[in-house]
Amino acid sequence: GPRCAAYNEVQATPVKRLCKSHSIITVNGQFPGPNIEVRNGDTLIITVSNRTPYNVTIHWHGIRQIRTAWADGPEFVTQCPVKPGGIYTYRFTIKDQEGTLWWHAHSSWLRATVYGALIIHPKEKKSYPFLPPKREYPILLGEWWDQNPIDVIHEAISTGSAPSISDAFTINGQPGDLYNCSTKGLIFIIKTSSFVDFSSLTTLKKMSISISEITIFPVNPGETILLRFINAALNTELFVSIAGHTMMVVAADASYVKPFLTTVIMLAPGQTTDVLITTSLPPSRYYIAARAYSSAESLPFDNTTATAILDYDCGCLPGPTQPPPAQPILPAFNDTLTVTAFSAAFKSPTPVKLPSPVDEHLFFTVGLGLFDCLPGQICGGPNHTRLTASINNVSFVLPYSSSLLQAHQLAVPGIFTTDFPAKPPVEFDYTGKNVGRELWQPEPATKLYKLKFGSVVQLVLQGTSIFAAENHPIHLHGYNFYILAEGFGNFDPARDTEKFNLIDPPLRNTVGVPMKGWAVIRFVADNPGVWLLHCHLDVHITWGLAMAFLVEDGVGELEALEPPPLDLPLC
């Protein structure tokens, strides 16, 4: 098919946000990075030249990478990082995928600023399964720190404590005009059915509009518009609303869904959601606003609101004296009811042929934990501990001396083991409080779970409350999976199997495992390679909330991993 070749330089670029300038790592000097727009069936050849002082890799989030795991990108998993001054070319073909995906750095916290949209249009002469929109906009939600995000995570790692929360959210790189540099902007968009006490929050005085810090989306009255939302934030789930406009959700994670209407959407980091809106309101300016959904009970979070403007351009709006844009209503920060109802609304457009029977029944606990502190360590966690995270009590450790995929392919011993447990070592009340830490000190290790080519996997993801229960957006590389059900409490097969949607479950690459709850996913292991499964809150992957599947080759050439590219970086 047609090819799309690009040359990208990853480099440090000075950027001014929130009244301060500092250098951030960018791609081609752009922040957010370049949008990549291609068609289903295209082959992409993207050269990454690393002009930064850091190791860099790029991940094409949601691209299946069938037989091309070498191009997937997570550092020390499918490749060694591209070192400062180095270069690597990612080559892959888009096979039967269309919709909104994105790309981001997959090294340390570089993805805070190194990200962009990856939009896959239908093949030529093919159309969307809905009336063609008049125009389309990618809308990237991001998270901004007033300092180098790499320093933020290094500080957290060295002390074992939680990283400082972000200073603002951004929409296409801009925080918007509700942000007040001197007070760090509190919020005044509040839903009435609020579950939190807002009396402690003060109302923000509006500062003058700095047009350079807000993104404006020009539209015409009477149009249908496709908005492609991407949550590229590091650690925060986000609600998004558009003043006065109802959204029709048509796709998520580059899979179409049965369309449904909503006034608010919620995206976890990693997720994408495509919506249609109609510009049928009186010509004016309307805010698009995003702010945190914070499921965790007592953890601090960034409570600023990011804004952009949907600007109806009819030539009839007054100039600089025009009234402020209309404001949307956003749910309360902890409005889990809205989140639950929203995720329950997702269905595949038509009944699906669900893979069965299940060959592998897996049960993974996902959550945060605590390490006892060793002598000489700085212990920023509660009661002389360091914060950690794990799946089935294994806290994932990257190998550093090789990538897992290279070690697998060359049969290098000692890099990983394949004894990742199919279920947690002990059963307990996962979502209860006061679980003894002695019962649950995670083991730091590099363990993979081996899957036969073509096996059908059903995986229960069970959130834990050992330390700070919260919603964990779990992302699987190399695959899409059906979400069969989600629920609260401890998963109980006798009771909860009845809730499975075996008719038209949605297909996604990232599932929000509800706080103190569970989610069940199913997929066919038909893509050979080493594939990371991890929480897409970056601080949790840093702490070890990850594991990897090793999917063996099938029989015959078409079921085998392709040979590694000649320019694959070495560690």
Q: Would you tell me which residues interact with ligand C2O (CB under 6 A)? A: 59, 61, 74, 104, 106, 270, 475, 477, 532, 534, 536
Quick check: 150 and 110 in contact, CB under 8 A? yes
- What is the number of residues in the chain? 571
Position with the least CB separation from ligand C2O:
61
Handedness of CA 558, 559, 564, 569 (dihedral sign): positive
Please say which residue, 105 or 415, places its beta carbon nearer to ligand C2O. 105
Considering only CA atoms, which of 235, 367, 234, 388 is closest in space to residue 300?
235
Q: State the amino acid at position 497 in one-letter form.
A: T
Token reading at 289: 């606003």
For 228, the 3-state DSSP assignment is strand
Q: Which is nearer to ligand C2O, 245 or 477 (CB)?
A: 477
Instruction: State in angstroms the smallest separation of the CB of 247 from ligand C2O.
Output: 23
Nearer to ligand C2O, 97 or 224 (CB): 97
Minimum separation from the CB atom of position 563 to ligand C2O (A): 24
Smaller CB separation from ligand C2O, 106 or 386: 106
Least spacing, CB of residue 62 vs ligand C2O, in Å: 8
Residues forming a β-bridge with 38? 120
541: closest CA among 114, 192, 157, 204?
157
For the CB of residue 218, give the shortest distance to ligand C2O in the complex, in Å.
30
Residues 6+ apart with CB under 8 A from 349: 129, 256, 257, 258, 259, 504
**Least distance from ligand C2O to the Cβ atom of residue 370, Å:** 24
Closer of 116 and 270 to ligand C2O (Cβ): 270
E runs forming strands in 279-421: 285-293, 306-312, 360-372, 385-391, 394-396
Q: Which two tokens stand for residue 99?
A: 């919709």
CB 435 to ligand C2O: min, Å: 28
Nearer to ligand C2O by Cβ, of 525 and 545: the residue is: 545
Q: Which is nearer to ligand C2O, 448 or 532 (CB)?
A: 532
Nearer to ligand C2O, 310 or 461 (CB): 461
Q: Is 415 helix (H, G, I), strand (E, B) or coil?
A: coil
| Closest CB 536 distance from ligand C2O, rounded Å | 6
Smallest distance, ligand C2O to C-beta of residue 349, A: 25
Q: Smaller CB distance to ligand C2O: residue 219 or 461?
A: 461
Both tokens of 24, joined, read 């951030």
The distance of closest approach from Cβ of residue 458 to ligand C2O in the complex, given in angstroms and rounded to an integer, is 22
Nearest C-alpha neighbor of 493 from the set 323, 362, 321, 392: 362
Identify the three-state secondary structure at position 318. coil
> What token pair was written down for 271?
């997720």
Which residue, 306 or 532, is less far from ligand C2O as judged by CB? 532
Closer to ligand C2O by Cβ: residue 98 or 538: 538
Q: Which of 225, 329, 229 is nearest to 278 (CA)?
A: 225
CB 83 within 8 A of CB 50: yes
Q: Is there a contact between 451 and 360 (Cβ–Cβ < 8 Å)?
A: yes
Q: What count of other Cβ atoms lies within 10 Å of the Cβ of residue 510?
A: 25
- CB of residue 533 to ligand C2O, shortest distance in Å: 9
Secondary structure in 3-state letters for 127-147: CCCCCCCCEEEEEEEEEECCC
Closest distance of CB 524 from ligand C2O, Å:
20
Per-residue HEC secondary structure of 422-488 comes to CCCCCCCCCCCCCCCHHHCCCEEECEEEEECCCCEEEEEEEECCCCCCCCEEEEECCCCEEEEEEEE
Cβ 299 to ligand C2O shortest distance, Å: 22
- Strand runs (DSSP E) across 272-354, as ranges? 272-278, 285-293, 306-312
Nearer to ligand C2O, 462 or 510 (CB): 510
